[in-house]
Amino acid sequence: MTIARKRLIAILIGAILWLAAARLVHFLPWLFDGGRMSAILFVAIIVSSWLTVDIVRLATRAGPGQLVPLMAWGTLTALLLDGLAISFAPSFYASVSSATQFGAAAIMWGAGLGLLFALLRDKAR
Protein backbone atom coordinates (compact mmCIF):
# COMPACT_ATOMS: atom_id res chain seq x y z
CA MET A 1 0.00 0.00 0.00
CA THR A 2 1.40 3.40 -0.92
CA ILE A 3 2.03 6.06 1.70
CA ALA A 4 -0.50 8.33 -0.03
CA ARG A 5 -3.19 5.65 0.37
CA LYS A 6 -2.20 5.10 4.01
CA ARG A 7 -2.43 8.86 4.60
CA LEU A 8 -5.88 8.99 3.02
CA ILE A 9 -7.08 6.15 5.24
CA ALA A 10 -5.72 7.92 8.33
CA ILE A 11 -7.44 11.16 7.29
CA LEU A 12 -10.74 9.33 6.80
CA ILE A 13 -10.43 7.63 10.18
CA GLY A 14 -9.75 11.03 11.79
CA ALA A 15 -12.81 12.55 10.13
CA ILE A 16 -15.07 9.63 11.06
CA LEU A 17 -13.94 9.57 14.68
CA TRP A 18 -14.35 13.35 14.94
CA LEU A 19 -17.86 13.08 13.51
CA ALA A 20 -18.75 10.36 16.02
CA ALA A 21 -17.41 12.43 18.91
CA ALA A 22 -19.17 15.60 17.78
CA ARG A 23 -22.48 13.77 17.42
CA LEU A 24 -22.00 12.28 20.88
CA VAL A 25 -21.76 15.80 22.27
CA HIS A 26 -24.86 16.79 20.31
CA PHE A 27 -27.06 13.88 21.32
CA LEU A 28 -25.75 13.30 24.87
CA PRO A 29 -24.77 16.76 26.13
CA TRP A 30 -25.41 15.77 29.75
CA LEU A 31 -22.30 13.59 29.60
CA PHE A 32 -20.20 16.73 29.20
CA ASP A 33 -20.89 18.44 32.52
CA GLY A 34 -17.40 19.54 33.49
CA GLY A 35 -17.71 17.37 36.58
CA ARG A 36 -18.08 13.70 37.38
CA MET A 37 -19.39 12.61 33.98
CA SER A 38 -16.64 14.50 32.16
CA ALA A 39 -14.04 12.86 34.41
CA ILE A 40 -15.46 9.41 33.60
CA LEU A 41 -15.38 10.26 29.90
CA PHE A 42 -11.78 11.44 30.10
CA VAL A 43 -10.82 8.05 31.55
CA ALA A 44 -12.82 6.24 28.85
CA ILE A 45 -11.08 8.36 26.21
CA ILE A 46 -7.74 6.96 27.37
CA VAL A 47 -8.94 3.52 26.29
CA SER A 48 -10.54 4.72 23.05
CA SER A 49 -7.39 6.66 22.09
CA TRP A 50 -5.29 3.57 22.69
CA LEU A 51 -7.65 1.58 20.46
CA THR A 52 -7.62 4.30 17.81
CA VAL A 53 -3.88 3.79 17.42
CA ASP A 54 -4.55 0.09 16.81
CA ILE A 55 -7.28 0.92 14.29
CA VAL A 56 -4.97 3.24 12.33
CA ARG A 57 -2.07 0.79 12.54
CA LEU A 58 -4.18 -2.11 11.27
CA ALA A 59 -6.15 -0.16 8.66
CA THR A 60 -3.03 1.37 7.14
CA ARG A 61 -0.66 -1.53 7.76
CA ALA A 62 1.75 1.08 9.11
CA GLY A 63 5.38 0.05 9.05
CA PRO A 64 8.05 1.12 11.51
CA GLY A 65 8.25 4.89 11.74
CA GLN A 66 4.92 5.41 9.93
CA LEU A 67 2.46 5.27 12.82
CA VAL A 68 3.12 8.73 14.28
CA PRO A 69 2.89 10.58 10.95
CA LEU A 70 -0.30 8.70 10.06
CA MET A 71 -1.85 9.45 13.45
CA ALA A 72 -0.81 13.08 12.97
CA TRP A 73 -2.72 13.23 9.66
CA GLY A 74 -5.85 11.80 11.27
CA THR A 75 -5.52 14.08 14.30
CA LEU A 76 -4.90 17.11 12.10
CA THR A 77 -8.11 16.34 10.24
CA ALA A 78 -10.15 15.90 13.41
CA LEU A 79 -8.84 19.08 15.05
CA LEU A 80 -9.36 21.19 11.93
CA LEU A 81 -12.94 19.95 11.64
CA ASP A 82 -13.45 20.54 15.36
CA GLY A 83 -12.23 24.13 15.16
CA LEU A 84 -14.33 24.91 12.10
CA ALA A 85 -17.49 23.35 13.49
CA ILE A 86 -17.21 24.98 16.92
CA SER A 87 -16.55 28.37 15.34
CA PHE A 88 -19.06 28.33 12.51
CA ALA A 89 -21.64 25.64 13.36
CA PRO A 90 -21.85 25.24 17.16
CA SER A 91 -25.31 23.72 16.82
CA PHE A 92 -23.54 20.69 15.33
CA TYR A 93 -22.46 20.06 18.91
CA ALA A 94 -24.76 21.34 21.67
CA SER A 95 -25.00 24.94 20.40
CA VAL A 96 -23.18 27.56 22.46
CA SER A 97 -23.12 25.77 25.79
CA SER A 98 -20.86 24.32 28.41
CA ALA A 99 -21.47 20.87 26.89
CA THR A 100 -19.90 22.08 23.65
CA GLN A 101 -16.95 23.54 25.55
CA PHE A 102 -16.42 20.39 27.61
CA GLY A 103 -17.04 18.19 24.56
CA ALA A 104 -14.40 20.06 22.57
CA ALA A 105 -12.00 19.65 25.47
CA ALA A 106 -12.69 15.90 25.48
CA ILE A 107 -12.04 15.70 21.73
CA MET A 108 -8.75 17.57 22.11
CA TRP A 109 -7.78 15.34 25.07
CA GLY A 110 -8.36 12.27 22.91
CA ALA A 111 -6.42 13.76 20.01
CA GLY A 112 -3.43 14.47 22.23
CA LEU A 113 -3.55 11.02 23.78
CA GLY A 114 -3.73 9.38 20.36
CA LEU A 115 -0.57 11.16 19.29
CA LEU A 116 1.16 10.32 22.58
CA PHE A 117 0.22 6.64 22.36
CA ALA A 118 1.32 6.45 18.72
CA LEU A 119 4.66 8.01 19.63
CA LEU A 120 5.20 5.63 22.54
CA ARG A 121 4.14 2.57 20.57
CA ASP A 122 6.09 3.45 17.44
CA LYS A 123 9.25 3.91 19.54
CA ALA A 124 8.68 0.51 21.17
CA ARG A 125 8.74 -1.30 17.80
Reported confidence tier of residue 122, pLDDT bands at 50, 70, 90: confident
Reported confidence tier of residue 125, pLDDT bands at 50, 70, 90: low
Encode the chain in three state secondary structure.
CCHHHHHHHHHHHHHHHHHHHHHHHHHCHHHCCCCHHHHHHHHHHHHHHHHHHHHHHHHHCCCCCCHHHHHHHHHHHHHHHHHHHHHHCHHHCCCCCHHHHHHHHHHHHHHHHHHHHHHHHHHHC
The 10s digit of each residue's pLDDT in 69-111 is 999 999 999 999 999 999 999 888 888 888 888 999 999 999 9
List the domain boundaries for the chain. Answer: 3-124
In this prediction, residue 27 carries a pLDDT of 94
The 10s digit of each residue's pLDDT in 34-69 is 899 999 999 999 999 999 999 999 999 999 899 999
